[in-house]
Amino acid sequence: MVSRDRAPLTRAVAAAAVAPLLLLAACGGGDDEPGLTPPPTTSPVEGGDSTGDAAATSTGSNPVQDGFTSAAGGNDAATQTTTEPEGPKEITIGAAGDLLLHAPVIRNAQANAGGEGYDFVPMFADVTDLLSDNDLTICHMETPISADNTNLTVPRVLIFNSPREIADAVVAAGYDGCDFASNHTWDQGLSGLAETQQVLEEAGLQYAGPVADESEAGHYATYEVDDVTVAQFGYTYTIYNSGQPTTDIPPDAPWLGDYLWPVIGAEGIIADAEAAKEDGADFVVVSMHWGNEYWTDPTDQQRELAAELLESDAVDLILGTHVHVIQPCEKINDKYVIYGLGNFLSNQSPDTTRGKLRKETQEGMIARFHLTKDADGTVTSQMEFQPTRVQIDNHVIRLATPEEHAETYDRVVETMDRLGENACDAEPMS
């Protein structure tokens, strides 16, 4: 049983704005959908978000960019009553990567429904058992959702809008909630943001990330599982579909700046997390839209921010999205950050982009985290993961094992250890 608290937060710290050095792009994914090309790439990627030829073909370690700068009770002796200490609290949280609904994905959903509406459920058939086998499972919704299935994503245009049936499919697959904090948050403007939030909530999904109503500014998703409360926040480097780095805030929605991590900095995120714990959260999950697209290594920017967040007592888990490939995990202060969960559902592939995108763009994972909070408040965690691969002809998400889709399996397992054997102790499920 999960429930969401809409109580607004009061931010304890106003952090200074910073300009992230990110490779930004719109999320392309098909031979009929060219991508945008931001600096410093040298050639456009047809059908991809955008990347240069080196990024499209390299499978080794990527260069690392610098550039992140974060913004900078005792017992009452007169009290005679005593309280028995709480026992440990435990929860298992599942998460998977981007749900990025390109036009070809939508066309296959329409075909699944016989031309009447859209049916995304078959795409999740192979992974439903794993997604459902958690106390709660969280998705990242990359694209806006239309409340009435109008103005949907069309080929060759990277301004997204998805059919509302995706929300029902997400519920059927075993998800309990989603964040919608990305560089596509503003693809359909304020009304599109409102519709996305509306559709997810009407489907029974909890919602984290930017909100369309100023009166809800600062809200976060709250999950109640037995006696355990989990808060989830969603932040992004930009809400604009832009090929250039930007932390611009829409003049008609100034509160959206609270969801831009380069604007509020680590201190702003920690202040949000602390407020959630003061409100009763046992664990705080932070979803971060960050990094350089198609890079299998996290940037210095990502690692510095993750370390600052996880060294605090307020943040217990970081889920990274945006880069469209798997990035490694790291364990800091006995808590995990997975820098990139990859693409869970999309049309990105070398086969759909005439070889311009990396084969890693077809790959994702289901990550499972077991979190424990001891009586003294100390949080420890363990992680396991299941590699996945999208079958491009019908967009069914397949499990990658040593026997099936072994190349994907081996590559994901290797990537998870990319930061060194002592950086992350996560183990594959199969």
Residue 293 tokens read as: 């697209």
Q: What is the pLDDT of residues 86-106, one digit of tens each?
A: 779 999 999 999 999 999 999
Cα–Cα distance measured from residue 161 to residue 150, given in angstroms and rounded to the nearest whole number: 8
> What residues contact residue 147 under an 8 Å CB cut-off, 6+ apart?
164, 195, 198, 199
Cα–Cα distance measured from residue 147 to residue 163, given in angstroms and rounded to the nearest whole number: 8
Question: Class of 53-58+86-428 per CATH?
Answer: alpha beta
The pLDDT, as a whole number, for residue 36 is 36
What integer is the mean pLDDT of 68-77? Answer: 37
Q: Is the pLDDT at 126 greater than 60, yes or no?
A: yes
Length of the chain equals 430
Q: What is the pLDDT of residues 292-350, one digit of tens each?
A: 999 999 999 999 999 999 999 999 999 999 999 999 999 999 999 999 999 999 999 99
DSSP 244-263: S------TT-GGGGGGBHHH
Q: What is the pLDDT of residues 211-254, one digit of tens each?
A: 999 999 999 999 999 999 999 999 999 999 976 779 999 999 99
Rounded alpha-carbon distances, angstroms, from residue 246 to 177, 200, 243, 255? 28, 27, 9, 16
Beta strands in 392-426 (DSSP E): 396-399
| Phi (first) and psi of residue 228, to 5 degrees | -110, 135
Coil, helix or strand at residue 110:
helix
Q: Is the pLDDT at 42 greater than 50, yes or no?
A: no
Q: Report which of 31, 29, 65 is spatially closest to residue 50, judged by C-alpha positions.
A: 29
The whole-model pTM stands at 0.85
Q: What is the pLDDT of residues 2-23, one digit of tens each?
A: 443 433 333 433 333 334 334 4
Q: What residue ranges do the domains of the chain occupy?
A: 53-58+86-428
